[in-house]
Amino acid sequence: MSTTPALDRPDAVIFDLDGTLVDTVERRIEAWLQAFQEAGIPATREAVSPLIGADGKALARRIAKEAGRSLDEEAVEATDRRSGEIYQALNVDPRPLPGARELAQALDRARIPWAIGTSSRREQVRASVDALRLAREPTIVDGSHVEHAKPEPDLLVMAASQLSVDPRQTWYVGDSTFDMQAAVAAGMYPIGVTTGSADVDALRGAGAAEVIGSLLELGRRIRRLAAPSANRA
């Protein structure tokens, strides 16, 4: 469990994408299962589901190892890339999760900068971000920007740098255990949301300082933060 002290008003908020802002986890799982099937690697939904949110190459290695297979780097890259291709074909109408768009609007009104930090490859991000119908293009750091994606903290640290904020004064919001591990490693305040494949216990066990049921809760919190400044205007 995280020992990070409570952070009432963050200097910035960084979000995971799949399973946090958009409802795409099932498509991710299906894409991986198809990719492993094509590669002749036995894989089950039960094995793949808890790994959604991790670095894709690490996920491919893990499932292959559990199946008694050893993949070289070329095969790992090919499997990860194929999973992404299948996902793109499946992800034609991604659905924003409840409160996602409203939370982004509330952060903008409160003048709290925010960004997306996702392990996804760059070409896989566009459809999901477009589905949010945001008023402006957000800052996005994806898996192509760093050598090691989640659970390593590199994505999150880079996103904080692009926003010119201290990671220690930043919330990271995500739905997977890898999100929480990355947030802890980056020194951020980890907030888990149970809209993906991880439950409350798993998120807290991975370091979440708090766990919420949906982004609607954070939206209400941010609107309360914005209220005093709005009243003074």
Residue type, 167: P
> What is the four-CA torsion angle of 180, 181, 187, 190, rounded to 10 degrees?
10
Rounded to an integer, what distance in angstroms lies between the CA atom of residue 97 and that of residue 34?
A: 25
Tens-of-pLDDT digits for all 233 residues of the chain? 455 666 789 999 999 999 999 999 999 999 999 999 999 999 999 999 999 988 899 999 999 999 999 899 999 999 999 999 999 999 999 999 999 999 999 999 999 999 999 988 888 899 999 999 998 999 999 988 888 889 999 999 999 999 999 999 999 999 999 999 999 999 999 999 999 989 999 999 999 999 999 999 999 999 988 775 444 44
Q: So what's the pLDDT on residue 52?
A: 92
- 160: which 2 tokens? 């904080």
Phi (first) and psi of residue 169, to 5 degrees: -110, 25
12-23+94-232 and 25-90 agree in CATH topology:
no
Domain boundaries, the chain: 12-23+94-232, 25-90
Its pTM stands at 0.90
**Angle (CA) 124 126 129, round 5°:** 120
User: Which secondary-structure segment (H or E) carries 32?
Assistant: helix 25-39
Q: So what's the pLDDT on residue 228?
A: 57
Region 12-23+94-232: CATH code: 3.40.50.1000
Q: So what's the pLDDT on residue 230?
A: 45
User: Which secondary-structure segment (H or E) carries 77?
Assistant: helix 73-90
25-90, which class in CATH? mainly alpha
CB atoms within 10 A of CB 142: 20
Residue type, 232: R
